[in-house]
Amino acid sequence: MRLKDGLLAGITGGIIWGILALAVNSITGIFPFEHPLLYNLVMFVTGGAIFGIVTGGLLAAGWSVLPVESAILRATVVSVFVWMVLRGGGLVLSYMNPYRYHAVFIEAVQGLVLSILLGVVVGIVVRFRQKQHLTA
């Protein structure tokens, strides 16, 4: 898989995921939003795009070494790995400065589910683009 393809799939999937994450938290209400919806839409789309780019880039880089076959599973492994690394860093920070970085278990569960969702969305975009290239 070429890096360019990974990034295009990542940015597309990331933007979709950002909107989905906003919708999921609006439904679950696990964290009551402090900003207005339109403001959050912009932030979630940009945040999602950045997460998607990193996921897509790592997916392209590790495409041949990932121990699974399907594009969706590969992308999910990468996105969960990224989330766990960031969460691990967060745990270290919360140990060092518990006031500024305190973890909430139920938010972490939602975050893990959303990281799986990011992988699924990016994987679907990758598969869709691969099919398009095959039929073009």
Partner 1 sequence: MREEVRRERSLYTGVALSLFVLACAFAMVLIVYGVDSVAPGVHDAYHDFRHTIGMPCH
Q: Which positions lie near partner 1, rule CB under 8 A?
A: 3-4, 7, 21-22, 24-25, 30-31, 33-35, 40, 43-44, 47, 50-51, 53-54, 57-58, 83, 86-87, 89-91, 93-94, 99-104, 107-112, 114-115
Minimum Å gap between C-beta 75 and partner 1 is: 15
101 DSSP assignment: S
Contact (Cβ atoms closer than 8 angstroms) between residue 120 and residue 75: yes
Closer to partner 1 by CB, 96 or 134: give it: 96
Closer to partner 1 by CB, 11 or 71: give it: 11
Burial of 35 (0-12, 13-18, 19+ CB in 10 A): exposed
Minimum Å gap between C-beta 100 and partner 1 is: 5
Query: What element of type H or E holds 26?
Result: helix 3-28
Q: What whole-number distance in Å separates Cα of residue 34 and Cα of residue 39?
A: 10
Minimum Å gap between C-beta 21 and partner 1 is: 6
C-alpha 107: how far from its chain's center?
15
Closer to partner 1 by CB, 72 or 117: give it: 117
